[in-house]
Structure 1
Protein backbone atom coordinates (compact mmCIF):
# COMPACT_ATOMS: atom_id res chain seq x y z
CA UNK A 1 0.00 0.00 0.00
CA UNK A 2 1.42 3.35 -1.10
CA UNK A 3 0.34 6.50 0.74
CA UNK A 4 0.82 9.98 -0.73
CA UNK A 5 0.73 13.23 1.22
CA UNK A 6 0.38 16.58 -0.50
CA UNK A 7 2.15 19.67 0.78
CA UNK A 8 5.09 17.53 1.89
CA UNK A 9 7.36 20.55 2.25
CA UNK A 10 4.79 22.45 4.31
CA UNK A 11 4.28 22.47 8.05
CA UNK A 12 1.33 20.07 8.26
CA UNK A 13 2.17 17.76 5.35
CA UNK A 14 5.69 17.20 6.65
CA UNK A 15 4.31 16.30 10.08
CA UNK A 16 1.82 13.84 8.58
CA UNK A 17 4.68 12.02 6.89
CA UNK A 18 6.66 11.97 10.12
CA UNK A 19 3.66 10.54 11.98
CA UNK A 20 3.18 7.84 9.33
CA UNK A 21 6.79 6.78 9.84
CA UNK A 22 6.38 6.87 13.63
CA UNK A 23 3.39 4.53 13.26
CA UNK A 24 5.52 1.99 11.43
CA UNK A 25 5.01 2.85 7.77
CA UNK A 26 7.99 2.00 5.58
CA UNK A 27 9.25 5.36 4.20
CA UNK A 28 9.66 3.66 0.81
CA UNK A 29 5.84 3.30 0.72
CA UNK A 30 5.27 7.02 1.30
CA UNK A 31 5.12 9.54 -1.53
CA UNK A 32 5.55 13.18 -0.59
CA UNK A 33 4.10 15.62 -3.11
CA UNK A 34 5.68 19.08 -3.17
CA UNK A 35 5.69 22.05 -5.51
CA UNK A 36 9.35 22.65 -4.66
CA UNK A 37 10.89 19.23 -4.18
CA UNK A 38 14.17 20.62 -2.87
CA UNK A 39 12.37 21.79 0.27
CA UNK A 40 11.61 18.15 1.12
CA UNK A 41 15.17 16.90 0.66
CA UNK A 42 15.38 15.86 4.31
CA UNK A 43 12.40 13.55 3.85
CA UNK A 44 13.95 12.10 0.70
CA UNK A 45 17.08 11.39 2.73
CA UNK A 46 14.93 9.27 5.06
CA UNK A 47 13.68 7.15 2.14
CA UNK A 48 10.44 8.98 1.27
CA UNK A 49 9.84 9.34 -2.46
CA UNK A 50 9.39 13.03 -3.27
CA UNK A 51 7.50 13.89 -6.44
CA UNK A 52 6.83 17.26 -8.02
CA UNK A 53 3.17 18.27 -7.84
CA UNK A 54 1.60 21.69 -8.28
CA UNK A 55 -2.05 22.12 -7.28
CA UNK A 56 -2.46 24.71 -10.04
CA UNK A 57 -0.86 22.59 -12.79
CA UNK A 58 -2.97 19.52 -13.56
CA UNK A 59 -0.25 18.19 -15.88
CA UNK A 60 1.92 17.45 -12.84
CA UNK A 61 -0.73 15.73 -10.76
CA UNK A 62 -1.80 12.46 -12.42
CA UNK A 63 1.79 11.30 -12.88
CA UNK A 64 2.60 12.37 -9.32
CA UNK A 65 -0.21 10.13 -8.06
CA UNK A 66 0.68 7.13 -10.21
CA UNK A 67 0.70 3.93 -8.15
CA UNK A 68 -0.75 5.66 -5.07
CA UNK A 69 -3.46 3.82 -3.13
CA UNK A 70 -4.34 6.32 -0.41
CA UNK A 71 -3.96 10.09 -0.35
CA UNK A 72 -3.85 12.72 2.37
CA UNK A 73 -4.97 15.90 0.62
CA UNK A 74 -3.70 18.77 2.74
CA UNK A 75 -5.69 21.87 1.89
CA UNK A 76 -3.75 24.52 0.00
CA UNK A 77 -2.61 27.85 1.38
CA UNK A 78 -3.62 30.15 -1.47
CA UNK A 79 -6.96 31.48 -0.25
CA UNK A 80 -9.30 32.16 -3.15
CA UNK A 81 -7.64 29.58 -5.40
CA UNK A 82 -8.02 26.51 -3.24
CA UNK A 83 -11.36 25.15 -4.48
CA UNK A 84 -10.04 24.92 -8.05
CA UNK A 85 -6.68 23.60 -6.87
CA UNK A 86 -8.25 20.89 -4.73
CA UNK A 87 -10.51 19.85 -7.61
CA UNK A 88 -7.42 19.44 -9.79
CA UNK A 89 -5.99 17.02 -7.24
CA UNK A 90 -9.26 15.11 -6.85
CA UNK A 91 -9.67 14.63 -10.61
CA UNK A 92 -6.04 13.53 -10.92
CA UNK A 93 -6.52 11.08 -8.04
CA UNK A 94 -9.53 9.59 -9.80
CA UNK A 95 -7.59 9.28 -13.06
CA UNK A 96 -4.67 7.64 -11.25
CA UNK A 97 -6.89 5.10 -9.49
CA UNK A 98 -6.44 6.37 -5.93
CA UNK A 99 -8.83 4.40 -3.71
CA UNK A 100 -9.12 6.65 -0.61
CA UNK A 101 -8.70 10.36 0.19
CA UNK A 102 -8.42 11.98 3.61
CA UNK A 103 -8.98 15.71 3.17
CA UNK A 104 -8.00 18.35 5.74
CA UNK A 105 -10.92 20.74 6.02
CA UNK A 106 -12.01 23.33 8.63
CA UNK A 107 -13.80 22.80 11.93
CA UNK A 108 -17.58 23.18 11.55
CA UNK A 109 -17.06 23.81 7.83
CA UNK A 110 -20.67 23.13 6.90
CA UNK A 111 -22.03 25.89 9.15
CA UNK A 112 -19.03 28.16 9.77
CA UNK A 113 -19.34 31.87 9.01
CA UNK A 114 -15.59 32.13 8.40
CA UNK A 115 -14.65 33.00 4.84
CA UNK A 116 -12.22 30.09 4.86
CA UNK A 117 -15.14 27.66 5.01
CA UNK A 118 -16.50 28.51 1.56
CA UNK A 119 -13.74 26.73 -0.34
CA UNK A 120 -13.83 23.76 2.02
CA UNK A 121 -17.54 23.32 1.36
CA UNK A 122 -16.84 23.39 -2.38
CA UNK A 123 -14.15 20.73 -2.02
CA UNK A 124 -16.48 18.57 0.06
CA UNK A 125 -19.03 18.66 -2.76
CA UNK A 126 -16.33 17.84 -5.31
CA UNK A 127 -15.18 14.84 -3.28
CA UNK A 128 -18.73 13.56 -3.09
CA UNK A 129 -19.16 13.95 -6.85
CA UNK A 130 -15.87 12.23 -7.66
CA UNK A 131 -17.01 8.92 -6.23
CA UNK A 132 -13.70 8.13 -4.52
CA UNK A 133 -14.13 6.93 -0.91
CA UNK A 134 -13.12 9.84 1.32
CA UNK A 135 -13.26 11.33 4.79
CA UNK A 136 -13.10 14.92 5.96
CA UNK A 137 -10.69 15.86 8.73
CA UNK A 138 -12.16 19.16 9.88
CA UNK A 139 -9.19 20.68 11.67
CA UNK A 140 -9.72 23.36 14.26
CA UNK A 141 -7.39 26.28 14.85
CA UNK A 142 -3.69 25.57 15.26
CA UNK A 143 -2.39 26.49 18.71
CA UNK A 144 0.71 27.66 16.83
CA UNK A 145 -1.39 30.47 15.35
CA UNK A 146 -0.96 32.03 18.79
CA UNK A 147 2.22 30.52 20.19
CA UNK A 148 4.13 31.40 17.03
CA UNK A 149 3.79 35.10 17.86
CA UNK A 150 4.42 35.23 21.59
CA UNK A 151 7.44 37.57 21.52
CA UNK A 152 5.55 40.82 20.78
CA UNK A 153 2.75 39.81 23.17
CA UNK A 154 5.23 39.27 25.99
CA UNK A 155 7.03 42.51 25.14
CA UNK A 156 3.79 44.50 25.23
CA UNK A 157 2.26 42.62 28.14
CA UNK A 158 -1.03 42.60 26.25
CA UNK A 159 -2.87 40.20 23.96
CA UNK A 160 -5.32 42.09 21.78
CA UNK A 161 -8.33 40.44 20.21
CA UNK A 162 -11.99 40.83 19.35
CA UNK A 163 -13.27 37.36 20.24
CA UNK A 164 -14.95 38.24 23.53
CA UNK A 165 -15.70 35.07 25.48
CA UNK A 166 -15.66 32.89 22.37
CA UNK A 167 -13.99 29.53 22.89
CA UNK A 168 -11.24 28.15 20.65
CA UNK A 169 -10.78 24.38 20.56
CA UNK A 170 -7.22 24.66 19.33
CA UNK A 171 -4.70 21.85 19.06
CA UNK A 172 -1.15 21.57 17.80
CA UNK A 173 -0.24 20.76 14.22
CA UNK A 174 1.35 17.56 15.49
CA UNK A 175 -1.99 16.49 16.99
CA UNK A 176 -3.82 17.07 13.71
CA UNK A 177 -1.04 15.38 11.73
CA UNK A 178 -1.22 12.30 13.91
CA UNK A 179 -4.97 12.10 13.35
CA UNK A 180 -4.47 12.26 9.59
CA UNK A 181 -1.88 9.49 9.75
CA UNK A 182 -4.19 7.32 11.85
CA UNK A 183 -7.14 7.77 9.50
CA UNK A 184 -5.28 7.12 6.26
CA UNK A 185 -3.60 4.03 7.69
CA UNK A 186 -6.91 2.57 8.86
CA UNK A 187 -9.04 3.77 5.93
CA UNK A 188 -11.96 1.91 7.46
CA UNK A 189 -14.45 4.75 7.91
CA UNK A 190 -17.51 4.94 5.71
CA UNK A 191 -17.07 7.27 2.76
CA UNK A 192 -18.19 10.79 3.64
CA UNK A 193 -17.36 10.40 7.34
CA UNK A 194 -16.67 13.75 8.97
CA UNK A 195 -14.33 14.15 11.93
CA UNK A 196 -14.74 17.41 13.83
CA UNK A 197 -11.25 17.87 15.26
CA UNK A 198 -10.36 20.16 18.14
CA UNK A 199 -8.48 20.25 21.40
CA UNK A 200 -9.86 18.65 24.54
CA UNK A 201 -9.76 21.93 26.49
CA UNK A 202 -11.26 24.82 24.51
CA UNK A 203 -10.07 28.21 25.74
CA UNK A 204 -10.87 31.88 25.37
CA UNK A 205 -8.27 34.47 24.47
CA UNK A 206 -8.39 35.68 28.06
CA UNK A 207 -7.52 32.16 29.20
CA UNK A 208 -4.71 32.06 26.65
CA UNK A 209 -3.29 35.27 28.15
CA UNK A 210 -3.52 33.74 31.62
CA UNK A 211 -1.66 30.58 30.55
CA UNK A 212 1.03 32.61 28.79
CA UNK A 213 1.47 34.64 31.99
CA UNK A 214 1.74 31.53 34.16
CA UNK A 215 4.12 29.64 31.91
CA UNK A 216 6.38 32.56 30.98
CA UNK A 217 6.36 34.37 34.31
CA UNK A 218 5.60 37.60 32.44
CA UNK A 219 2.20 39.19 33.13
CA UNK A 220 0.04 39.32 30.01
CA UNK A 221 -3.47 40.81 29.98
CA UNK A 222 -6.16 40.26 27.38
CA UNK A 223 -7.70 43.41 25.93
CA UNK A 224 -10.94 42.83 24.04
CA UNK A 225 -11.55 45.28 21.20
CA UNK A 226 -14.19 45.71 18.57
CA UNK A 227 -13.40 44.03 15.27
CA UNK A 228 -12.85 47.43 13.63
CA UNK A 229 -10.53 48.54 16.43
CA UNK A 230 -8.52 45.32 16.15
CA UNK A 231 -8.18 45.82 12.41
CA UNK A 232 -7.05 49.42 12.82
CA UNK A 233 -4.54 48.46 15.53
CA UNK A 234 -3.01 45.76 13.35
CA UNK A 235 -2.69 48.09 10.39
CA UNK A 236 -1.07 50.70 12.63
CA UNK A 237 1.42 48.01 13.66
CA UNK A 238 2.36 47.30 10.06
CA UNK A 239 0.10 44.33 9.30
CA UNK A 240 -1.12 44.38 5.66
CA UNK A 241 -4.78 45.35 5.33
CA UNK A 242 -5.80 41.96 3.98
CA UNK A 243 -4.35 40.12 6.97
CA UNK A 244 -5.80 42.68 9.36
CA UNK A 245 -9.22 42.10 7.82
CA UNK A 246 -8.69 38.35 8.14
CA UNK A 247 -7.77 38.62 11.84
CA UNK A 248 -10.79 40.76 12.62
CA UNK A 249 -13.16 38.44 10.74
CA UNK A 250 -11.64 35.38 12.43
CA UNK A 251 -12.16 36.83 15.91
CA UNK A 252 -15.74 37.71 14.99
CA UNK A 253 -16.23 34.07 14.00
CA UNK A 254 -14.62 32.89 17.24
CA UNK A 255 -17.01 35.05 19.22
CA UNK A 256 -19.86 33.29 17.41
CA UNK A 257 -18.53 29.78 18.12
CA UNK A 258 -17.05 28.93 14.72
CA UNK A 259 -13.83 27.49 16.17
CA UNK A 260 -15.30 25.70 19.17
CA UNK A 261 -16.36 22.08 19.50
CA UNK A 262 -17.17 19.58 22.21
CA UNK A 263 -16.20 16.74 19.86
CA UNK A 264 -13.48 14.42 21.09
CA UNK A 265 -12.80 12.94 17.67
CA UNK A 266 -9.22 14.20 17.75
CA UNK A 267 -8.16 12.60 21.01
CA UNK A 268 -10.01 9.41 20.02
CA UNK A 269 -8.11 9.16 16.73
CA UNK A 270 -4.69 9.80 18.24
CA UNK A 271 -5.33 7.62 21.27
CA UNK A 272 -4.26 10.19 23.84
CA UNK A 273 -5.32 13.59 25.19
CA UNK A 274 -4.57 16.50 22.89
CA UNK A 275 -1.56 18.66 23.74
CA UNK A 276 -2.46 21.07 26.52
CA UNK A 277 -2.29 24.81 25.99
CA UNK A 278 0.31 25.09 28.76
CA UNK A 279 2.52 22.46 27.13
CA UNK A 280 2.22 24.14 23.74
CA UNK A 281 3.13 27.52 25.20
CA UNK A 282 6.08 26.03 27.06
CA UNK A 283 7.34 24.35 23.89
CA UNK A 284 7.12 27.61 21.97
CA UNK A 285 9.05 29.47 24.64
CA UNK A 286 11.81 26.83 24.51
CA UNK A 287 12.22 27.12 20.74
Structure 2
Protein backbone atom coordinates (compact mmCIF):
# COMPACT_ATOMS: atom_id res chain seq x y z
CA UNK A 1 0.00 0.00 0.00
CA UNK A 2 1.25 3.47 -0.94
CA UNK A 3 0.33 6.54 1.11
CA UNK A 4 0.61 10.01 -0.40
CA UNK A 5 0.54 12.86 2.09
CA UNK A 6 -0.80 16.23 1.01
CA UNK A 7 -2.75 14.35 -1.65
CA UNK A 8 -5.15 17.20 -2.39
CA UNK A 9 -2.34 19.63 -3.14
CA UNK A 10 -1.13 20.42 -6.64
CA UNK A 11 1.73 17.94 -6.57
CA UNK A 12 -0.11 15.33 -4.51
CA UNK A 13 -3.02 15.06 -6.93
CA UNK A 14 -0.66 14.55 -9.85
CA UNK A 15 1.15 11.80 -7.95
CA UNK A 16 -2.14 10.05 -7.15
CA UNK A 17 -3.17 10.29 -10.80
CA UNK A 18 0.11 8.69 -11.80
CA UNK A 19 -0.19 5.92 -9.24
CA UNK A 20 -3.66 5.05 -10.47
CA UNK A 21 -2.17 4.40 -13.91
CA UNK A 22 0.19 1.82 -12.41
CA UNK A 23 -1.65 0.18 -9.51
CA UNK A 24 -5.17 -0.53 -8.31
CA UNK A 25 -7.01 2.22 -6.40
CA UNK A 26 -7.35 0.13 -3.25
CA UNK A 27 -3.56 0.17 -2.94
CA UNK A 28 -3.40 3.97 -2.91
CA UNK A 29 -4.11 6.08 0.19
CA UNK A 30 -4.72 9.81 -0.04
CA UNK A 31 -3.63 11.19 3.33
CA UNK A 32 -5.18 14.64 3.64
CA UNK A 33 -5.91 17.30 6.23
CA UNK A 34 -9.54 17.65 5.15
CA UNK A 35 -11.04 14.42 3.74
CA UNK A 36 -13.99 16.37 2.32
CA UNK A 37 -11.64 17.90 -0.23
CA UNK A 38 -10.77 14.41 -1.49
CA UNK A 39 -14.28 13.25 -2.38
CA UNK A 40 -13.28 13.04 -6.04
CA UNK A 41 -10.39 10.72 -5.15
CA UNK A 42 -12.66 8.54 -3.03
CA UNK A 43 -15.03 8.30 -5.98
CA UNK A 44 -12.15 6.82 -7.99
CA UNK A 45 -11.64 4.10 -5.40
CA UNK A 46 -8.74 5.69 -3.54
CA UNK A 47 -8.69 5.25 0.22
CA UNK A 48 -8.97 8.65 1.87
CA UNK A 49 -7.59 9.05 5.38
CA UNK A 50 -7.27 12.09 7.60
CA UNK A 51 -3.64 13.10 8.16
CA UNK A 52 -2.92 16.48 9.67
CA UNK A 53 0.76 17.30 10.15
CA UNK A 54 -0.21 19.46 13.12
CA UNK A 55 -2.19 16.65 14.78
CA UNK A 56 0.20 13.71 15.15
CA UNK A 57 -2.56 11.54 16.54
CA UNK A 58 -4.12 11.39 13.05
CA UNK A 59 -0.97 10.08 11.42
CA UNK A 60 -0.79 6.61 12.96
CA UNK A 61 -4.15 5.60 11.52
CA UNK A 62 -3.30 7.23 8.20
CA UNK A 63 -0.16 5.11 7.83
CA UNK A 64 -1.59 1.81 9.09
CA UNK A 65 -0.67 -0.99 6.70
CA UNK A 66 1.47 1.25 4.52
CA UNK A 67 4.51 -0.18 2.79
CA UNK A 68 5.56 3.14 1.26
CA UNK A 69 4.87 6.76 2.21
CA UNK A 70 5.47 9.86 0.14
CA UNK A 71 6.08 12.79 2.45
CA UNK A 72 5.30 15.88 0.41
CA UNK A 73 6.98 18.71 2.26
CA UNK A 74 4.85 21.14 4.20
CA UNK A 75 4.38 24.64 2.84
CA UNK A 76 4.12 26.26 6.27
CA UNK A 77 7.26 28.30 7.10
CA UNK A 78 8.29 28.14 10.72
CA UNK A 79 6.34 24.93 11.36
CA UNK A 80 7.70 22.72 8.60
CA UNK A 81 10.37 20.88 10.58
CA UNK A 82 8.11 19.94 13.50
CA UNK A 83 5.44 18.78 11.06
CA UNK A 84 7.92 16.63 9.18
CA UNK A 85 9.20 15.14 12.43
CA UNK A 86 5.66 14.06 13.29
CA UNK A 87 5.29 12.31 9.94
CA UNK A 88 8.66 10.58 10.23
CA UNK A 89 7.87 9.37 13.75
CA UNK A 90 4.49 8.02 12.66
CA UNK A 91 5.99 6.28 9.65
CA UNK A 92 8.60 4.58 11.82
CA UNK A 93 6.01 3.47 14.36
CA UNK A 94 3.77 2.13 11.58
CA UNK A 95 6.58 -0.01 10.22
CA UNK A 96 6.75 1.76 6.87
CA UNK A 97 9.37 0.10 4.67
CA UNK A 98 10.18 3.01 2.38
CA UNK A 99 9.83 6.75 3.02
CA UNK A 100 10.13 9.11 0.03
CA UNK A 101 10.60 12.82 0.68
CA UNK A 102 10.26 15.85 -1.60
CA UNK A 103 13.20 18.10 -0.74
CA UNK A 104 14.81 20.98 -2.62
CA UNK A 105 17.63 20.97 -5.17
CA UNK A 106 21.07 20.77 -3.52
CA UNK A 107 19.48 20.94 -0.07
CA UNK A 108 22.80 20.26 1.66
CA UNK A 109 24.71 23.12 0.04
CA UNK A 110 22.29 25.70 -1.40
CA UNK A 111 21.64 29.01 0.32
CA UNK A 112 18.10 29.24 -1.07
CA UNK A 113 15.59 30.40 1.54
CA UNK A 114 13.75 27.06 1.96
CA UNK A 115 16.90 24.94 2.27
CA UNK A 116 17.48 24.83 6.05
CA UNK A 117 14.21 23.01 6.81
CA UNK A 118 14.79 20.55 4.00
CA UNK A 119 18.37 19.86 5.00
CA UNK A 120 17.26 19.27 8.59
CA UNK A 121 14.40 17.00 7.47
CA UNK A 122 16.78 14.90 5.39
CA UNK A 123 18.92 14.44 8.49
CA UNK A 124 15.87 13.41 10.57
CA UNK A 125 14.94 10.82 7.96
CA UNK A 126 18.44 9.38 7.91
CA UNK A 127 18.43 9.14 11.70
CA UNK A 128 15.01 7.45 11.76
CA UNK A 129 16.40 4.23 10.30
CA UNK A 130 13.67 3.88 7.66
CA UNK A 131 14.80 3.02 4.13
CA UNK A 132 14.37 6.30 2.26
CA UNK A 133 14.68 8.12 -1.03
CA UNK A 134 15.12 11.88 -1.28
CA UNK A 135 13.69 13.69 -4.30
CA UNK A 136 15.38 17.07 -4.40
CA UNK A 137 12.95 18.98 -6.58
CA UNK A 138 13.96 22.07 -8.50
CA UNK A 139 11.60 24.93 -9.36
CA UNK A 140 8.21 24.38 -11.00
CA UNK A 141 7.40 26.45 -14.08
CA UNK A 142 3.97 26.98 -12.49
CA UNK A 143 5.77 29.24 -10.01
CA UNK A 144 5.85 31.76 -12.86
CA UNK A 145 2.16 31.67 -13.79
CA UNK A 146 1.53 35.14 -12.36
CA UNK A 147 4.69 36.45 -14.04
CA UNK A 148 3.40 35.29 -17.42
CA UNK A 149 0.05 37.00 -16.98
CA UNK A 150 1.69 40.23 -15.78
CA UNK A 151 4.10 40.15 -18.72
CA UNK A 152 1.25 39.69 -21.18
CA UNK A 153 -0.48 42.73 -19.68
CA UNK A 154 2.54 45.06 -19.58
CA UNK A 155 4.93 43.66 -22.20
CA UNK A 156 7.72 43.01 -19.72
CA UNK A 157 8.67 41.58 -16.37
CA UNK A 158 11.51 42.46 -14.03
CA UNK A 159 13.88 40.34 -12.01
CA UNK A 160 17.40 40.20 -10.64
CA UNK A 161 18.60 36.84 -11.93
CA UNK A 162 20.96 38.31 -14.51
CA UNK A 163 21.77 35.72 -17.15
CA UNK A 164 21.57 32.89 -14.61
CA UNK A 165 19.86 29.71 -15.74
CA UNK A 166 17.38 27.43 -14.01
CA UNK A 167 16.04 24.00 -14.79
CA UNK A 168 12.39 24.64 -13.98
CA UNK A 169 9.87 22.27 -15.56
CA UNK A 170 6.16 21.61 -14.96
CA UNK A 171 5.07 20.03 -11.71
CA UNK A 172 3.92 16.96 -13.64
CA UNK A 173 7.51 15.97 -14.41
CA UNK A 174 8.36 15.90 -10.71
CA UNK A 175 5.15 14.00 -9.92
CA UNK A 176 6.05 11.34 -12.45
CA UNK A 177 9.47 10.99 -10.84
CA UNK A 178 7.80 10.36 -7.49
CA UNK A 179 5.53 7.76 -9.07
CA UNK A 180 8.53 6.01 -10.62
CA UNK A 181 10.24 5.77 -7.25
CA UNK A 182 7.10 4.66 -5.41
CA UNK A 183 6.33 1.92 -7.91
CA UNK A 184 9.87 0.86 -8.83
CA UNK A 185 12.79 -0.91 -7.22
CA UNK A 186 16.36 0.02 -6.42
CA UNK A 187 15.73 3.54 -5.16
CA UNK A 188 16.26 3.06 -1.41
CA UNK A 189 19.17 5.03 0.00
CA UNK A 190 19.40 7.32 -3.02
CA UNK A 191 19.14 11.08 -3.31
CA UNK A 192 18.11 12.48 -6.68
CA UNK A 193 18.84 16.01 -7.87
CA UNK A 194 15.85 16.85 -10.08
CA UNK A 195 15.58 19.57 -12.72
CA UNK A 196 14.98 19.93 -16.43
CA UNK A 197 17.36 18.72 -19.10
CA UNK A 198 17.75 22.17 -20.62
CA UNK A 199 18.23 25.13 -18.29
CA UNK A 200 16.93 28.53 -19.36
CA UNK A 201 17.38 32.18 -18.48
CA UNK A 202 14.74 34.82 -17.89
CA UNK A 203 15.57 36.22 -21.34
CA UNK A 204 14.77 32.78 -22.77
CA UNK A 205 11.55 32.80 -20.75
CA UNK A 206 10.53 36.17 -22.21
CA UNK A 207 11.23 34.89 -25.72
CA UNK A 208 9.13 31.79 -25.06
CA UNK A 209 6.20 33.92 -23.83
CA UNK A 210 6.48 36.04 -26.96
CA UNK A 211 6.47 32.97 -29.18
CA UNK A 212 3.55 31.29 -27.40
CA UNK A 213 1.35 34.38 -27.16
CA UNK A 214 2.23 36.52 -30.14
CA UNK A 215 2.68 39.41 -27.71
CA UNK A 216 6.15 40.94 -27.50
CA UNK A 217 7.58 40.44 -24.01
CA UNK A 218 10.98 41.51 -22.70
CA UNK A 219 12.89 40.81 -19.51
CA UNK A 220 14.17 43.78 -17.51
CA UNK A 221 17.12 42.87 -15.30
CA UNK A 222 17.57 45.13 -12.28
CA UNK A 223 19.79 45.11 -9.17
CA UNK A 224 18.45 42.98 -6.30
CA UNK A 225 17.62 45.99 -4.09
CA UNK A 226 15.61 47.60 -6.88
CA UNK A 227 13.90 44.31 -7.62
CA UNK A 228 12.79 44.06 -4.01
CA UNK A 229 11.46 47.62 -4.06
CA UNK A 230 9.43 46.87 -7.18
CA UNK A 231 7.90 43.81 -5.54
CA UNK A 232 6.95 45.73 -2.39
CA UNK A 233 5.54 48.57 -4.50
CA UNK A 234 3.40 45.99 -6.30
CA UNK A 235 1.81 45.11 -2.96
CA UNK A 236 3.74 42.02 -1.97
CA UNK A 237 4.48 41.56 1.75
CA UNK A 238 8.08 42.04 2.80
CA UNK A 239 8.70 38.30 3.46
CA UNK A 240 7.42 37.38 -0.01
CA UNK A 241 9.55 40.08 -1.64
CA UNK A 242 12.55 38.73 0.26
CA UNK A 243 11.87 35.18 -0.90
CA UNK A 244 11.48 36.17 -4.54
CA UNK A 245 14.65 38.21 -4.63
CA UNK A 246 16.48 35.38 -2.89
CA UNK A 247 15.18 32.95 -5.51
CA UNK A 248 16.64 35.16 -8.23
CA UNK A 249 19.91 35.23 -6.31
CA UNK A 250 19.84 31.44 -6.34
CA UNK A 251 19.25 31.42 -10.10
CA UNK A 252 22.03 33.95 -10.62
CA UNK A 253 24.42 31.75 -8.63
CA UNK A 254 23.42 28.47 -10.28
CA UNK A 255 21.59 26.94 -7.33
CA UNK A 256 18.42 26.04 -9.27
CA UNK A 257 20.02 24.09 -12.06
CA UNK A 258 21.64 20.67 -12.30
CA UNK A 259 23.17 18.56 -15.03
CA UNK A 260 22.54 15.30 -13.14
CA UNK A 261 19.98 14.02 -15.64
CA UNK A 262 18.20 12.31 -12.74
CA UNK A 263 14.75 13.64 -13.62
CA UNK A 264 14.65 12.46 -17.23
CA UNK A 265 16.17 9.14 -16.17
CA UNK A 266 13.45 8.54 -13.58
CA UNK A 267 10.54 9.50 -15.82
CA UNK A 268 11.94 7.68 -18.84
CA UNK A 269 11.64 10.58 -21.25
CA UNK A 270 13.12 14.02 -21.86
CA UNK A 271 11.81 16.64 -19.48
CA UNK A 272 9.14 19.03 -20.77
CA UNK A 273 10.64 21.69 -23.06
CA UNK A 274 10.36 25.33 -22.01
CA UNK A 275 8.23 26.16 -25.07
CA UNK A 276 5.60 23.59 -24.09
CA UNK A 277 5.63 24.63 -20.43
CA UNK A 278 5.20 28.31 -21.30
CA UNK A 279 2.46 27.59 -23.84
CA UNK A 280 0.47 25.92 -21.06
CA UNK A 281 0.98 28.93 -18.78
CA UNK A 282 -0.10 31.35 -21.51
CA UNK A 283 -3.33 29.39 -21.95
CA UNK A 284 -3.88 29.67 -18.20
Aligned to 2:48, what secondary structure does the other structure show?
strand
Aligned to 2:279: 282
Correspondence for 1:4 = 3
Q: Does 1:242 align with 2:219?
A: no
Cα distance 1:148–1:25, how it changes in 2: closer, same or farther (>3 A)?
farther
1:160 alignment partner in structure 2: 158
1:136 is aligned to: 134
State the Cα distance separating 1:148 from its structure 2 match.
4.6
SS of alignment partner, residue 205 of structure 2: helix
Cα shift at 1:284: 2.1
Alignment match of 2:221 (pick from 215, 219, 224)? 224
Aligned partner (choices 174, 178, 181) of residue 180 of structure 1: 178
What corresponds to 2:115 in structure 1?
117
- Secondary structure of the structure 2 residue equivalent to 1:75: coil
* Equivalent pairs, count: 284
| Residue segments in structure 2 that go unaligned for 5+ positions in a row | none
Shift of 1:190: 3.6
The Cα of 1:227 is off from its aligned counterpart by 1.4
- 1:200-215, aligned counterparts within 5 Å? 200-215=197-212
Does the CA-based 8 Å contact 2:147-2:157 persist in structure 1?
A: no
| Alignment deviations for residues 97-133 of structure 1 (CA, whole Å, 9 cap, x no partner) | 1100110000111110112010001011000100000
- What is the Cα deviation at residue 39 of structure 1? 1.3
What residue in structure 2 maps to residue 19 of structure 1?
A: 18
| Deviation by residue 1:71-94 (Cα, 9 ceiling, x = unmatched) | 111011102211111111000000
- Structure 1 window deviating more from structure 2 (251-260 vs 181-190): it is 181-190
| TM-score normalised by structure 1 residue count | 0.97
Distance change (3 Å), C-alpha of 1:30 and 1:275: same
Q: Distance in 1 between matches of 2:280 and 2:247?
A: 25
Q: Distance in 2 between matches of 1:49 and 1:90?
A: 21
Unaligned runs of 5+ in 1: none
**What's the RMSD between the two structures over aligned residues?**
1.0
8 A contact 2:53–2:83 mirrored in 1: yes
**Separation in structure 2 between the aligned mates of residue 147 and residue 277 of structure 1, nearest angstrom:** 13
Answer whether contact 1:100 1:187 (CA < 8 A) is retained.
Answer: no
Contact 2:163–2:202 (CA<8 Å) still a contact in 1? yes
**Separation (CA, whole Å) in 1 of partners of 2:170 and 2:103:** 15
Q: Equivalents in 2 of 1:235, 1:73: separation in Å?
A: 33
Contact 1:70 1:99 in 2 (8 A): yes
Cα deviation digits, residues 163-212 of structure 1 (max 9, x gap): 11111111111000000000011142242x11000011100111101111
Pick one of 58, 63, 66 that aligns with 2:64: 66
Q: Give the TM-score normalised by the residue count of structure 2.
A: 0.98
